[in-house]
Chain A
Amino acid sequence: MIQIDNLFKSYGEKQALRGISFTIQPGEILGFLGPNGAGKSTTVKILTGLLQPDGGIAQVANFDVVREPIEVKRRIGYVPETGAIYESLTAYEYLELVANLQKLAPQIYRKRIDEFLDLFGLADDAQNQIAGFSKGMRQKILISAALLHNPPVLLFDEPLNGIDANSALVFKELLRKLSRQGKTILFCSHILEVVERLCTRLVIINKGQLAAEGTPQAIAQQTGAATLEQAFSMLTGVRDAVAHAEEFVNVLKTMQQ
């Protein structure tokens, strides 16, 4: 379970989070949406202990992220948006490092690493350095690392970045199965179609505040929009997309002249 209550965070004078609150129950896949700079990554970083909140409460699996960060970190699997990874290590070595830091027994992690590499079609690349991997391959390693210790809470920040269609299909099915097992899943993505199909509930934030919460259909109904895409656009205050694109084209025309 993830519980966020009245969370605040500022970067200097800029307020990134202005008192957002929501809860994710076990077995739920929550789609966490918002435009760039809305505060999604800040929220996820607070939940993972990478950032400290300025105010409010954030709890993961009933542990407070500020007071009990190690307990929280033991119970989460996290795929970062940045894709930060040690490139000099081989795929196997990186997963072994994560397993050791998660304090898994060798007899357990060796089997799991083999299974994950096999599942993502990376078994033949296990002993190759990550430096030579494509973006999608790196992402698969990060997803494997997040799942390796079988955590009850999963935080995915743009996990499908660079992943091919077949692997994305496997990953989405995996998420559904994991949620059925009772895992709490927070899923950040800009791909609204995926979020709409995969997530049981959505939270949309804008400028650090909660803009909407509910099922995709409920949010569309609340805003009077026909699709989630339109609802998102209305809630996050984006100008008319057609007019916006027209402005860009005009700028390019001016440059040509």
Chain B
Amino acid sequence: MNFLEKRGVDVSQLRALVRTGLRNDLRRSRFLSGTGRKTVHPTRALILVGLFSLMLGVGFAMYAVGARSVLLASIISCSSVMFIAASMILVEYYAIILSPDDFNILGHLPMTSQTYFTGKLSLLLIYILGFASISAIPAAIGFMIRSPFSLWRGAVAFFCMLFAALTAAMLMVLFYTALTRLLPQRPLKYIISFVQVIASFLIYGGYALMPRLVPEHWLTLAWQPALVHLFIPSAWFGALMQVLLGNFESWNLYAAIIGVVIFGNAAYYGLRHLAKNYLMIIAGDRQAAVEATVEKRAAPSIKRNRLPLLFRRPEERIIVTLLSGQFRNDTKFRMAILTIIPLIAMYMFIAIQEDALHDPFIDGSISIADSGLIYFALLLIPLLVKQSIEMSDSHEAAWIFFASPTSLHKLVLAAKRVSYFYFVMPTVVAVTVLFAYFFNHVAHAALHGLTLALLVYFAQQLVFMLKPTVPFSEPRTRGRQGALYAMAFFVGPGAGFAAMILIGKMIYPYPERLPFFYAIMFIFILALDRVIAWQMHRKFTLGSQPKGVAALARVSLPSR
């Protein structure tokens, strides 16, 4: 009897579960979208995440080669893979570990809770270790080829980085799963949303702040660890690497022991305690969902959503109802939207810390360049929001849009307007309020806010023009959200940022140009709105969309 079987895990069942999980994730799946049934390629999203991991790894490989202190280089490399692991769990955890979808299919089959939990955990670790390896291989090569060349050093570095990623993943899984045990089931999904936001702050914040905390000229620094560094998780695995390379200094030993002990405890506690109760947790989650539905059904009167007066068209009312309903009830959607807050907040925090928030009407483009990350993040919001409102676990319910006389292009345009009003606008307003405080000039802050609002709206127009999709009509695929964040950190709307620099240089210093600038922006945006409406009208109404009974047959029935 092996280690797993002793802990109640059936290895043959585990193998079947993992094989099925991978097949489910990596296969193309067909879904309804704006142009009828389409095929989604989940591998593309995974390739993007892989590229992101590879770029991180290559960056840290250069540090590994050049840094004077091997310990510091290894701590930073371990931080990068721990960041990959933690952020993947942050965006995928609910879908993989806590989702009750599998339980609906497999719950009646003779599996122990431990087998079920280990199956889910294995699937998660396969992805995490896969992406961590992509990042760790170049870094390990860097450690190997630094002078003097040592194959053993490279192998140890690779092992320690994977160990670090595994520990980060295990700790986060334990943290979330323990929460599900400790907290009452009913408000759990709301609490998890807020925990998610706090965790996002820690992970993205740590990632954004780390380069700023590292001392200048650290490449040539003979760094000595202090007692306080024992509290940094990546330091444990950097130290483990030192120990495995034969450096038995007391700090290295203490830090390495802490790492190994924490990993051992996490694995033991996870498999021994949480795994045993996992099925109950999932069943409890289902029951909480049923209870919520039953109570809503038993409510004496129908609660009507208060629709803002701004949205009077039928399509806009549909979208308002859909968005508010999804935000209230779909944890995955809520988490995807709420995770935007830390992204903006961290960049604002960094800009404030670095005293980079200056009035661009006085300092011109220099101020904009200094606080560039804020504009970068703001211009990303349309992309993040658009992606979030495309996907849903209930994507098949989108047949209703195709089978009713609703105009699809108006629906997509309504999604653009409503999502801007609900999610983008409040962020721009919040940033403008902060600008007003730091610029010490309300009118300048308001004008700058207006410029931002128009630019972000323009970005949103482009995003919708490039991929018009009926809201909540596409399935969630593994890695898609992660790929989005990879794009958020690497690709981003550089053109929008460049436009901001130009505005700071060519418009802001000349007050007489401002009215013309805003007038042109308004006309441009209105014209683009028309173009999008025409383009979508062509795509959804005049294009390949089947009509009448044929449309119904294709949409509501599978294509066989």
Taking Cβ atoms with an 8 Å cutoff, the residues of A that contact B are: 11-14, 16, 48-52, 70-71, 73-74, 76, 78, 80, 82, 84-89, 93, 96-98, 100-103, 125, 128-129, 131-134, 137
Q: Which of the listed residues B19, B101, B108 has the most CB atoms from chain A within 10 Å of its own CB?
A: B108
What are 22 A-B contacts with C-beta separation under 8 Å? Answer: A11-B294, A12-B294, A14-B291, A14-B294, A14-B295, A49-B107, A50-B283, A50-B286, A51-B283, A70-B112, A73-B109, A84-B104, A86-B20, A88-B27, A89-B23, A93-B23, A97-B16, A97-B19, A98-B109, A101-B111, A131-B30, A133-B558
CA distance A87 to B17 in the complex (A): 15
Does B227 touch A at the CB level, under 8 Å? no
B residues in contact with A129, CB < 8 Å = 27
- Give B contacts to A, CB under 8 Å: 10, 12-13, 15-17, 19-20, 23-24, 27, 29-30, 101, 103-112, 186, 280, 283, 286-287, 290-291, 294-295, 298, 557-560
**Which of B13, B101, B287 is the most central at the interface, judged by chain A CB atoms within 10 Å of its CB?**
B287
The 6 A-B residue pairs with the shortest CB-CB distance in the complex, in nearest-first order: A100-B16, A73-B110, A48-B108, A12-B291, A84-B104, A11-B291
A75 to chain B: closest residue by CB: B110
A48 and B13 within 8 A (CB): no
Please judge, given known A-B contacts A131-B29, A134-B557, whether A50 and B107 are in contact too, CB under 8 Å: yes
- Given A14-B298, A87-B29, the answer on whether A102 and B110 have CB atoms closer than 8 Å is yes
Contacts of B106 in A (CB 8 A): 101
Say whether B29 contacts A76, CB under 8 Å: no
Q: How far, in whole Å, are A78 and B16 apart by their CA atoms in the complex?
A: 20
**Interchain CB contact under 8 A, A13 and B560:** no
Query: Which residue of chain B has the shortest Cβ distance to A84 in the bound complex?
Result: B104
Question: Which of A50, A82, A103 is within 8 Å of B13, CB to CB?
Answer: A103
- Give the complex CA separation of A240 and B145 in angstroms: 86
Contact of A11 among B107, B108, B290, B558 (CB under 8 A): B290
Q: Which residues on the A side are within 8 Å of B112 (C-beta)?
A: 70
Q: Which residue of A lies closest to B284 (CB)?
A: A52
Looking at the complex, which one of A14, A74, A85 makes contact with B105 (CB distance below 8 Å)?
A: A85
Across the interface, which residues of B come within 8 angstroms of A89, CB to CB?
20, 23-24
- Given A11-B290, A14-B295, A134-B557, 17 extra CB contacts under 8 A: A12-B186, A50-B283, A51-B286, A70-B112, A74-B110, A78-B108, A89-B24, A97-B19, A97-B20, A100-B12, A100-B16, A103-B10, A103-B110, A129-B27, A131-B558, A134-B560, A137-B560
Chain A residue at minimal CB-CB distance from B15? A100
Q: Give the nearest-CB partner of A79 in chain B.
A: B108
- Provide the bound-state CA to CA distance between A84 and B393, in Å: 13
What residue of chain A has the Cβ atom nearest to residue B21's Cβ? A86
Known contacts A89-B20, A100-B13; is A51 also within 8 Å of B558 by CB?
no
Residues of A within 8 A of B111 (CB): 70, 73, 101
Contacts of A134 in B (CB 8 A): 557-558, 560
**Residues of A contacting B287 with CB < 8 Å?**
11, 51
A52 to B30, CA, bound (A): 35
Identify A132's interface contact among B30, B186, B298, CB under 8 A: B30
Chain A, residue nearest B27 (CB): A88
CB distance from A101 to the nearest CB of B (A): 5
A86 CA to B553 CA, complexed, in Å: 23
Q: Please determine whether A133 and B560 come into contact, CB atoms closer than 8 angstroms.
A: yes
* Complex contact A84–B105 (CB within 8 A): yes
Chain B residues with CB under 8 A of A102: 109-110
Q: Verify B294–A103 contact, CB threshold 8 A.
A: no
Contact across chains for B29 and A88 when beta carbons are under 8 A apart: yes
Question: A35 CB to closest chain B CB, in angstroms?
Answer: 14
Complex CA distance for A137 and B19, rounded to whole angstroms:
24
A49 touches B108 (CB 8 A): yes
Q: Please, which residue of chain A has its CB at the minimum distance from the CB of B103? A: A50
Say whether B20 contacts A50, CB under 8 Å: no
Cα distance, A128 to B105, chains bound together (Å): 19
**Chain A residue at smallest Cβ distance from B106:** A101
Chain A residues within an 8 Å CB radius of B13: 100-101, 103
The answer to whether A13 and B295 touch across the interface, beta carbons within 8 angstroms, is yes
Contact B104 A101 (CB under 8 A): no
Pairwise interchain contact B23-A73, C-beta atoms closer than 8 A: no
In whole angstroms, how far apart are the Cα atoms of A247 and B111 in the complex? 50
Give the complex CA separation of A87 and B393 in angstroms: 13
- Which residue, of A70, A88, A125, A128, has the highest number of chain B Cβ atoms within 10 A? A88
Residue of A nearest to B20 (CB): A97
For residue A82, which residues in chain B have a CB less than 8 angstroms away from its CB? 104
* A48, A87, A98, A131: residue with the most chain B Cβ atoms closer than 10 Å: A131
Task: Give the Cβ gap from B12 to chain A, nearest Cβ, in Å.
Answer: 6
Cα-based distance from A98 to B13 in the complex (angstroms):
10
Give the chain A neighbours of B280 by CB distance below 8 A.
Answer: 52
CB distance from B555 to the nearest CB of A (A): 14
The docked-state distance in angstroms from the alpha carbon of A129 to that of B39 is 13
Chain A residue numbers with a CB within 8 Å of B20 are 86, 89, 93, 97
Residues of chain A lying within 8 A (CB to CB) of residue B29: 87-88, 131
Contacts of B10 in A (CB 8 A): 103
Residue of B nearest to A47 (CB): B108
Contacts of B24 in A (CB 8 A): 86, 88-89
Cβ A76 vs Cβ B295 within 8 A: no
Smallest CB separation, A39 vs chain B (Å): 12
B23 to chain A, nearest CB (A): 6
**A9: shortest Cβ distance to chain B, in Å?**
9
CA distance A4 to B557 in the complex (A): 39
| Most chain A C-beta atoms within 10 Å of own C-beta, residue among B106, B286, B290 | B290
A52, closest chain B residue (CB): B283
Given contacts A73-B108, A78-B108, A89-B24, contact A132 B560 (CB under 8 A): yes
Residue from the set A11, A14, A51 with the largest chain B CB neighbour count within 10 Å: A11
* Residues of chain B within 8 A of A13, CB atoms compared: 295, 298
Report the separation of the CA atoms of residues A100 and B559 in the bound assembly, to the nearest whole angstrom: 30
> A48 CA to B105 CA in the complex, in Å?
12
With the chains together, A125 CA to B17 CA distance in Å?
Answer: 23
Task: Report A-chain residues with C-beta under 8 Å of the C-beta of B15.
Answer: 100
Q: Which residues of the other chain, A, contact B291 by a CB distance below 8 angstroms?
A: 11-12, 14
- Chain B residues whose C-beta falls within 8 Å of the C-beta of A76 in the assembled complex: 108
Residue of A nearest to B109 (CB): A101
Minimum Cβ distance to chain B for residue A107 (Å): 15
A211-B200 Cα distance, complex, nearest whole Å: 53
The docked-state distance in angstroms from the alpha carbon of A50 to that of B125 is 27
Q: Which residues of A contact B109 (CB under 8 A)?
A: 73, 98, 101-102
Across-interface contacts of A131 in B (CB, < 8 A): 29-30, 558
A12 x B295 contact (CB < 8 A): yes
| Residue of B whose beta carbon sits closest to that of A155 | B108
A16 to B287, CA, bound (A): 12
Considering the complex, give the chain A residue whose CB is closest to the CB of B39.
A131
